[in-house]
Amino acid sequence: MDKKIAVYICTGCGIGEALDIEQLSKVATSECKAAVCKNHPNLCSSEGSQLIRDDIANEGVNTLIVAACSLRVMYDVFNFEGTILDRVNLREQVVWSHPPNDEDTQMMAEDYLRMSAGRMKQM
């Protein structure tokens, strides 16, 4: 299976206020080679998960990186059959535990995204 990577960044729960989402999106498309990168204010909502489902159906994405909340929550919402999925915990591990709009906090978020993309390329 040829992988077509898509990155979805949630901007809710303080993520959008604490991070430069545009810069994070640039990392996703340039360094992580994501074919699709979108952000949404509430990815775990029905509209957010439908956005992902639509891209699976219409864009042919099959390798998903969801940068949002902890893996311990919303696992049923982010279950997309026939895809490879990894989740980047931006909420608890980055923005809730580090200073907002700080260079180091931004770098941490970008590094977590890069690590996820590295995992996806190896799977």
- Taking only the tens place, the pLDDT of each residue in 3-36 is 999 999 999 999 999 999 999 999 999 999 999 9
CB 13 within 8 A of CB 41: no
Model pTM score:
0.96
The mean per-residue pLDDT over the stretch 36-64 comes to 96
Give the count of domains, the chain: 1
Distance CA 105, CA 42 (A): 21
Work out the percent of the chain whose per-residue pLDDT is above 70. 99
Distance CA 35, CA 120 (A): 13
- Secondary structure of residue 28 in the 3-state scheme: helix
Q: Residue 93: give its domain's CATH number.
A: 3.40.50
User: How long a stretch of residues is the chain?
Assistant: 123
Q: Is the pLDDT of residue 46 over 90?
A: yes
Q: Is the pLDDT of residue 1 over 80?
A: no
What value does the mean pLDDT of the chain take? 95
Distance CA 30, CA 14 (A): 25
* φ, ψ of residue 64 in degrees (nearest 5): -115, 135
Q: Is the pLDDT of residue 74 over 90?
A: no
Helix (H) or strand (E) holding 103: helix 103-122
Distance CA 106, CA 39 (A): 16
Q: Whole domain around residue 85: which residue ranges?
A: 5-122
- Taking only the tens place, the pLDDT of each residue in 94-120 is 999 999 999 999 999 999 999 999 999
